[in-house]
Structure 1
Amino acid sequence: MKEVKIIRTMQQGNEMQQEASNRKLPLLVLVGPTAVGKTALSIELAKRYNAEIISGDSMQVYRGMDIGTAKIKEEEREGIVHHLIDICNPEESFSAADFQAKAKALIADIHSRGKLPFVVGGTGLYIESLCYEFRFVDHGSDDKFRAEMEKYAAQHGNEALHLKLSQVDAEAAARLHPNDTRRIIRALEVQHLTGKPYSEHQSGQERGQEKESPYNLVILGLTRDRAKLYERIEQRIDLMLEEGLVDEVRALLARELPMHAVPRQALGYKEIIAYLQGEISYERAVELLKRDTRRFAKRQLSWFRHMQGLHFVDMDQNFEEILQSIHAIIAGKFQDHLEYSTNQSFK
């Protein structure tokens, strides 16, 4: 009798947990490294699941940064609504906290119209902060201090600025590349404003801790054979250059962007800026761009491997096999909220 009671209690607990999950808004998420194939797959899934896409890419929010961010073209969207693309000027800042607030509002709005909210992108912090509701604190800003740090970096170099951070916050310095001056300056700014290390403010969001999502959540993580992924990255960069990446960067420089502006630090832009300013040759700029993009993809993969609740999908499969494996993952999660598109239902 005791065994029967225990089994019944466990079943009741599972049913209550499932009921609580069903009360949450559904959220489909697709993550993966650059060039893995997120765009084409996301369009197909959005059509089959009656979804609207929320971009989870930290660079695609900026106007005028189209080629270098592999921003989806209007004709490629096939009528699927996309959000959080082209909403900021390159001179403006846009943070993970900004993304979280805007995406949360969009999820509620999309659901209220009977559609499935679908986040697609490669910026791990942005997406994880949304999926597990990280808490962000506004520490304010000090434009004068920021300008002083930009001047210091220009005079003494990025390495010297990075050393300055390591002297007051070794943990934050260890996480940031010396060339990531925008985030280094922000870490120094927070320490300057609060008197506490930037890393200390982040301690409440330690990755790897078990977290509960406010959503009925499915996260798909795309992978490919590493050699094939790197080949796709090189092909993408060659295509970007053919489509006019250098002219796009030249147009951004003509805006006289401040030193802390995103394009000056962004992958695909800083390398071309160095070429246009005569610091390196064109060939060297392309070599660095390909090398740094491969390294970036490796860091993305590392981040996603540590994300909680992620279902990996092998993109080296046949496309129909990929779709079927994704449907097997999603099946049963969202039926209480919406039906699959009638003309593209899975068999």
Structure 2
Amino acid sequence: MNDAGRFRLPGDKPPLLVLVGPTAIGKTGLSIELAKRYGCEIISGDSMQVYRGMDIGTAKITREEMQGVPHHMVDICEPDYPFSVAEFQERVRQLILDIGSRGAIPFIVGGTGLYIESICYDFQFTDVGSDEEFRQEQRQYLEEHGPEALHARLAERDPGSAARLHANDTRRVIRALEVLHLTGRTLTEQLAGQTKESPYNLCLTGLTMDRDILYNRIEARIDKMMELGLVEEVKGLLARGITRSHISMQGLGYKEIAAYLDNEMSLPEAVRLLKRDTRHFAKRQLSWFRHMKDINWIEIPEHAKVSRILHKFHEILAGKFEGVTEYIGEHEYPQI
């Protein structure tokens, strides 16, 4: 059964399905089943999966796992490329038009809050310029006092951005400070001032689950990453000349393992930090999504059957769009 092309929409806005949730909650498997049922093409809303050769640490979907469902915004640039939210927005806007022209439904799936919200509500990003002297001052402060001190400086001036950014994401921390320096307004204020009207007929669904269960899933996923060869993946990137200063290498999994490979800590300590930082990241993801409007939340129990979650998603979709046929498909899917 497939509902593609049967949605009757009010007005002229094109449909856009969006599925968000914290890392390790099960978005990938669920999104495939939803895409097959509703005739969707998936757009990754993950800021790290754009990089080629960074597969294990990003939990990137494999070709086999895609099951023939078209995926976009995966493996589109090299790890030394400074990919940005503005470029993501520009590319995805066009993708949504292209997918719709093929009679399919665009379906954004991911966990990078700013990237996804920039599409849902058509944020306007203006080029405020740069101040290299100011940047150098911040880099000097970073070198003398460390990332936590630099992050604390941001927390004093822009608590919202500090809550969103990890201390080790020093490039974005410096950029947030620079934007405030250049404009007199924090990034948080600028984001809050964005129009929250969507240019799309938006069906936005979020997944959540008990915090302890989610944290156990995160730790199990990281153990699996280590078994699959995360250390070798990071070692290979470093050997190619991808340095720790590149944006891609500041992602979770890469910065911790790179520190281990540079003899700054033991491997068990790197894994411990990775698990801790990923738990913190999941908490920040949930905090971001809960401040977004229009989200229909689905609670995922510990041993959820995908068929039950599909049914709940269908109810949300049927409430948003006319012409969505009665749910058919009480199959036995694996657990999410």
| Structure 1: 4+ residue segments shifted above 6 A | none
The alignment of Structure 1 onto Structure 2 pairs a total of residues equal to 320
Contact 1:35 1:232 (C-alpha < 8 Å) held by counterparts: yes
- Distance in 2, matches of 1:181 and 1:315, equals 34
- Distance in 2, matches of 1:312 and 1:69, equals 24
* Paired AA for residue 190 in structure 1: V
Contact 1:172 1:198 (C-alpha < 8 Å) held by counterparts: no
- Distance in 2, matches of 1:66 and 1:138, equals 31
- 2:204 counterpart of 1:219: yes
Rate the CA distance shift 1:140–1:346 in 2: closer, same or farther, 3 A.
farther
Shift of 1:294: 1.1
Shift of 1:228: 1.5
- Distance in 1, matches of 2:256 and 2:246, equals 15
Q: What SS class does the counterpart of residue 106 from structure 1 fall into?
A: helix
Aligned residue number for residue 5 of structure 1:
none
Map residues 144-183 of structure 1 onto 2, 5 A cutoff: 146=135, 149-150=138-139, 153-162=142-151, 165=154, 169-171=157-159, 174-175=162-163, 176-183=165-172
User: Which TM-score applies when normalising by structure 2?
Assistant: 0.86
Rate the CA distance shift 1:75–1:188 in 2: closer, same or farther, 3 A.
same
Rate the CA distance shift 1:121–1:267 in 2: closer, same or farther, 3 A.
same
- 2:289 counterpart of 1:320: no
Aligned residue number for residue 4 of structure 1:
none
Shift of 1:141: 4.3
Aligned residue number for residue 50 of structure 1:
39
- Distance in 1, matches of 2:146 and 2:128, equals 26
- Distance in 2, matches of 1:333 and 1:118, equals 15
Aligned residue number for residue 14 of structure 1:
none
Aligned residue number for residue 205 of structure 1:
191
* Paired AA for residue 100 in structure 2: H
Q: What SS class does the counterpart of residue 252 from structure 2 fall into?
A: coil
Bigger CA drift: 228-237 or 259-268? 259-268
Contact 2:22 2:111 (C-alpha < 8 Å) held by counterparts: yes
Q: Name which of 325, 329, 337 aligns with 2:316.
A: 329
- Distance in 1, matches of 2:54 and 2:129, equals 27
Aligned residue number for residue 71 of structure 2:
82
Q: Name which of 195, 219, 224 aligns with 1:239.
A: 224
- Distance in 2, matches of 1:162 and 1:283, equals 25
Rate the CA distance shift 1:308–1:21 in 2: closer, same or farther, 3 A.
farther
Contact 2:123 2:195 (C-alpha < 8 Å) held by counterparts: no
- Distance in 1, matches of 2:305 and 2:166, equals 38
Rate the CA distance shift 1:26–1:280 in 2: closer, same or farther, 3 A.
same
* Paired AA for residue 244 in structure 1: G
**Structure 2 gap ranges (5+):** 1-7, 331-336
Aligned residue number for residue 28 of structure 1:
17
Q: What SS class does the counterpart of residue 41 from structure 2 fall into?
A: strand
* Paired AA for residue 314 in structure 2: H
Aligned residue number for residue 261 of structure 1:
246
Percent sequence identity over aligned pairs: 57
- 2:276 counterpart of 1:278: no
Deviation track 1:46-68 (CA, whole Å, cap 9, x = no partner) reads 00000000000011011111100
Shift of 1:164: 5.7
Aligned residue number for residue 4 of structure 2:
none
Aligned residue number for residue 113 of structure 2:
124
Shift of 1:335: 4.9
Rate the CA distance shift 1:297–1:37 in 2: closer, same or farther, 3 A.
same
- Distance in 1, matches of 2:237 and 2:133, equals 24
Deviation track 1:228-287 (CA, whole Å, cap 9, x = no partner) reads 211111111111001100001111112333553123321111111111111111111111
Q: Name which of 66, 75, 80 aligns with 2:55.
A: 66
Aligned residue number for residue 288 of structure 2:
303
User: Which TM-score applies when normalising by structure 1?
Assistant: 0.83
- Distance in 1, matches of 2:254 and 2:74, equals 18
Rate the CA distance shift 1:67–1:143 in 2: closer, same or farther, 3 A.
farther
RMSD: 2.7
Shift of 1:298: 1.2
Contact 1:27 1:217 (C-alpha < 8 Å) held by counterparts: yes
Q: What SS class does the counterpart of residue 331 from structure 1 fall into?
A: helix
**Structure 1 gap ranges (5+):** 1-18
Shift of 1:182: 1.2
* Paired AA for residue 87 in structure 1: I
- Distance in 1, matches of 2:61 and 2:18, equals 17
